[in-house]
Chain A
């Protein structure tokens, strides 16, 4: 009584089921790129969206050493106390984001594009995956 091999409706059913599953899984999960850093040391309290720093985008264009050596940015999300004053002064992001190497501080929303209120953390990091949901601010607690 069962399956004759070619049954288009079965493929259709499977496709529909997969689409439903993908929809269900996709609506609740964060699917950030590996190494995306959300920075929210001051943004939310200043009434701005948090900053999303895409590691991959910068890695295509610069060696790690440029930012983490020459510019003195520490290997710690939330550990650098970056604010707009320093950036305008040419420190940290401001070394490139000055309208010369990269876009200037006038393009607020290109950096401050995170969902409102997101805590400082490195997305898709091992620490993030090891930490239970709801304790994800643990990484930013190390900031000092």
Chain B
């Protein structure tokens, strides 16, 4: 939003210089590039794209007068009055409309409707001196406009047509501001946007949607609905879910009522550096695991006998056997590093439940 407003402002200032001079046919292209291309180049919100006959066909049939009126007064379908530039003279808006409709004629129907193709020829006559420069632009940038260049006799009949095509390719080749900003914001591969979390199997990128089995599997959100949320991993606080009875995972494979053998013993590990010390709660771990899962293969059951570092954990050793694969990931520092150096325990026996923000 802010970007759009700023862009519009800057472009309007830039356009004031253009307004000072007499209106030229070339102005249509300038107005288009400075104002209209923001939406029209990519067809945002259904805006008709230059050179795209399918977009413009129905609109052209309604007549130029209707197009001018809609461009100046705006439409309910999304076109703002004068493209959101109230200071723009109506003549400039009309020139931009002429430019865009001319690109359609030049790109899609050069041979079938030469009379239409010749119309922009008259308008762009003053711009002919700049034509060689624009023709140097590689036409590959505008696949839509390419057929016009590929038809040599059409170019010969309507000589200025390549000028139009080339200038259209200039406009289309320009990076479209909306998508650029979105691409920059979407880059953080560790940060998944809310709409992309807990997707059903058919959309998660690893299941094959073409298989009948995929469609029969339970979607994660169907199970997670009633469970307490967290900020990482499955976005579910598993420890809290178990403590609150939201889930009742079996302790024995085939017995629904077998109770876990829980051991309530906190181990405090003093850590180097400025991070708070780690409080390791046996309780939350023995709710899920058997002693033999961790001892003695991963941790020697003796205080001080286990060397640990975050680097090793990140690589899957020690706590990293589960944390970072299935238990909450190491991004949740304070769930483990929960005891302040001055000796006050921040999270006593239930670090995940209590330290959760």
Contact = CB atoms under 8 A, between A and B. Distances in A.
Nearest to B246: A60
Contacts of B24: none
A56 B207 CA distance: 15
B192 interface: yes
B253 A95 contact: yes
B324 A125 contact: yes
Given A31-B199, A38-B206, A21 B293 contact: no
Contacts of B329: 34, 126
B342 interface: no
B57 interface: no
Contacts of B150: none
A59 interface: yes
B253 A24 contact: no
A57 B199 CA distance: 13
A32 B196 CA distance: 9
A32 B249 contact: no
Nearest to A21: B182
Interface stretch (B28-36, B136-144, B211-219): B211-219
B206 A61 contact: no
B215 to A, nearest CB: 9
A55 B4 contact: no
A13 B234 contact: no
Interface stretch (B101-109, B264-272, B273-281, B314-322): B314-322
Interface string B76-94: 0011100011110000000
A6 interface: no
A60 B217 contact: no
A140 B107 CA distance: 52
B249 A16 contact: no
Nearest to B206: A32
Nearest to B74: A9
Interface residues of A, number: 70
Given A25-B196, A26-B196, A64-B289, A118 B79 contact: no
A41 interface: no
Interface in B110-160: none
Contacts of B179: 17, 20-21, 24
A113 B325 contact: no
Given A2-B8, A13-B4, A69-B293, A126 B314 contact: yes
Nearest to A115: B208
Contact of A109 (B4, B79, B211, B325): B211
A115 B233 CA distance: 22
Contacts of B45: 9, 12-13, 15-16
Contacts of B79: 9
A91 to B, nearest CB: 12
A130 interface: yes
A122 B204 contact: no
A72 B185 CA distance: 44
Interface string A96-119: 100011000001111111111010
A34 B326 contact: yes
Contacts of A31: 192, 196-197, 199, 203-205
B12 interface: yes
Interface string A51-88: 01011110111111110111100010000000000000
Given A34-B326, A95-B253, A109 B44 contact: no
Contacts of A118: 206
Interface string A1-29: 11100010110111111101110111001
A66 B204 contact: no
Interface string B17-60: 00000000000000000000001001011100000000000000
Contact of B204 (A3, A25, A30): A30
B257 interface: no
Given A34-B326, A126-B320, A69 B292 contact: yes
Given A15-B45, A62-B249, 16 more contacts: A1-B86, A9-B45, A16-B45, A20-B182, A21-B185, A33-B234, A34-B233, A64-B289, A65-B293, A66-B251, A75-B325, A109-B213, A110-B213, A113-B217, A115-B206, A127-B314
27 contacts: A9-B74, A9-B79, A10-B80, A13-B45, A14-B1, A17-B44, A17-B178, A18-B182, A25-B196, A31-B192, A34-B329, A35-B233, A35-B325, A35-B326, A54-B217, A60-B247, A62-B249, A63-B287, A66-B250, A69-B289, A70-B252, A75-B298, A75-B325, A95-B253, A101-B254, A127-B314, A130-B314
